């Protein structure tokens, strides 16, 4: 359904998307996982024909994104990261206007509006102004509106950003239902690990414009192997030097303020880790044990946590802003 080959986007000296390639099968939920600023939204914007690629090619439903834009746009629905509803219109009017833009016949338009508002549990609020809606209700309406013309491919750019956990969980249920009932191909961008883990058949981890891993969430996590132990200490170097000599630790990596270990049967070895550090006069401030997550995969591949990378991006953007102002 989607074929991407060597897709690249440059903005002056900045490479936002760097020579990425992947394919997405019909009916698949495919995730682009990475921190804000990694190139996810730029990728979606190119695939949706909103940005022209610097180089490379992509096809949606068999249509080239640069030479057959109209056919691509008819094949896709998109929910943007930023709100795009008209707050002064009702839910019904927002839907109706969208259907008219796609020149949908009146009877088809009415039937689809009714069906989709029911799908996202907004039928009783169809005549309410959007400005009276909560953030979760607006997001559900945006999903319904994007599906009105029955696209074969559905783009969701950070679909649950800023929503509370309960509302986020409801949105996930709608996405799963859409995929199952309508067999629609979905590509979503996210920096929420649990979102990618729960929804996606396959995940491409993207960092600084490059795809650094692509597989099912389970296979990506299996590559970590065993349990993941995180140790915080003020003497990271000393702790790392002692633990790196230990045969039953399968992987150890120091970071800024903490160490991550991979080992099997972690609960049995915690006492030994504490005893070893204490014998060498090293204090451990905290210990946590968990099964591998996609966050651990990103950390293993990049040496950074996603939230650390986002903080780094925000710092770089603030610096650029100060330079431009100066």
CA distance 289 to 299: 15
- Closest to 3 measured CA to CA, from 64, 83, 52, 48: 64
Q: Which residue has the higher pLDDT, 310 or 220?
A: 220
Q: Edge-to-edge, what's the strand order for the sheet holding 63-64?
A: 14-24, 2-11, 55-60, 63-64
Domain 2-220 identical in fold to domain 225-291: no
Instruction: Scan for tokens 């607006």, then name that residue.
Output: 138
Specify the pLDDT at position 265.
84
Specify the pLDDT at position 307.
62
Backbone dihedral angles phi then psi of residue 168, each to the nearest 5 degrees: -60, -45
CATH architecture of 225-291: 2-Layer Sandwich (3.30)
Provide long-range contacts, Cβ within 8 A and 24+ apart, for 22-26.
22/204, 22/211, 22/214, 24/185, 24/187, 25/1, 25/185, 26/1, 26/152, 26/183, 26/185
- Say if residues 203 and 33 touch (Cβ distance below 8 Å): yes
Which residues have a Cβ under 8 Å from the Cβ of 292 and sit 6 or more positions away? 221, 222, 224, 225, 226, 227, 228, 262
> Which structure tokens are listed for 199?
């929804």
- The per-residue pLDDT for range 149-159, each reduced to its tens digit, is 989 999 999 98
CA dihedral angle for residue 49, residue 54, residue 55, residue 58, rounded to 10 degrees? -10
Q: What residue spans define the domains of the chain?
A: 2-220, 225-291
- Say if residues 204 and 33 touch (Cβ distance below 8 Å): yes
Specify the pLDDT at position 57.
96
- The per-residue pLDDT for range 69-78, each reduced to its tens digit, is 999 999 999 9
- The per-residue pLDDT for range 269-323, each reduced to its tens digit, is 999 999 999 999 999 999 999 999 998 899 888 888 776 544 444 444 444 444 3
Phi-psi region of 281 (alpha: psi -120 to 50; beta: other; left: phi over 0): left
Q: What is the dihedral sign for C-alpha 175, 158, 209, 3?
A: positive
- Residue 213 scores a pLDDT above 70: yes
Phi-psi region of 158 (alpha: psi -120 to 50; beta: other; left: phi over 0): left
Could you give the C-alpha distances from 139 to 30, 85, 125, 159, 324, in angstroms and in order?
A: 20, 9, 14, 7, 34
Mean pLDDT of the chain: 89
Specify the pLDDT at position 178.
85
Hey, what CATH topology would domain 2-220 get? Rossmann fold (3.40.50)
């Amino acid at each position: 359904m989607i074929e991407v080959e060597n897709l690249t986007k440059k903005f002056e000296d900045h490479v936002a998307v760097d020579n990425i390639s992947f394919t997405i099968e019909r009916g698949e939920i495919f995730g682009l996982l990475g921190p804000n600023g990694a190139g996810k939204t730029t990728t979606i914007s190119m695939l949706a024909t909103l940005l022209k690629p610097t180089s490379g090619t992509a096809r949606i439903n068999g249509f080239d994104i640069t030479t057959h834009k109209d056919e691509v746009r008819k094949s896709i629905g998109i929910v943007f990261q930023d709100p795009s509803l008209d707050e002064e219109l009702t839910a019904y009017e927002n839907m109706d206007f969208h259907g008219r833009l796609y020149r949908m016949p009146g009877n088809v338009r009415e039937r689809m509006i009714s069906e989709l508002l029911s799908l996202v549990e907004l039928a009783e609020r169809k005549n309410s102004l959007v400005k009276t809606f909560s953030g979760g209700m607006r997001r559900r309406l945006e999903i319904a509106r994007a599906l009105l013309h029955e696209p074969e491919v559905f783009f969701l750019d950070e679909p649950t950003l800023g929503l509370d956990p309960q509302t986020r969980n409801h949105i996930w249920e709608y996405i799963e239902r859409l995929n199952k009932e309508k067999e629609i191909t979905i590509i979503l961008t996210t920096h929420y690990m649990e979102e990618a883990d729960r929804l996606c058949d396959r995940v491409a981890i993207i960092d600084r414009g490059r795809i650094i891993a692509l597989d099912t969430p389970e296979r990506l996590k299996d590559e970590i192997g065993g349990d993941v132990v995180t140790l915080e200490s003020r003497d990271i170097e000393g702790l790392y030097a002692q633990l790196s000599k230990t045969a039953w630790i399968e992987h150890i990596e120091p970071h800024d303020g903490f160490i991550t270990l991979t080992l099997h049967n972690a609960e049995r070895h915690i006492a030994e880790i504490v005893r070893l550090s204490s014998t060498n006069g090293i204090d451990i401030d905290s210990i946590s044990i968990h099964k591998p997550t996609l966050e651990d995969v990103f950390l293993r591949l990049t040496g950074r946590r996603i939230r650390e990378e986002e903080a780094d991006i925000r710092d770089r953007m603030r610096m650029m802003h100060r330079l431009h102002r100066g």
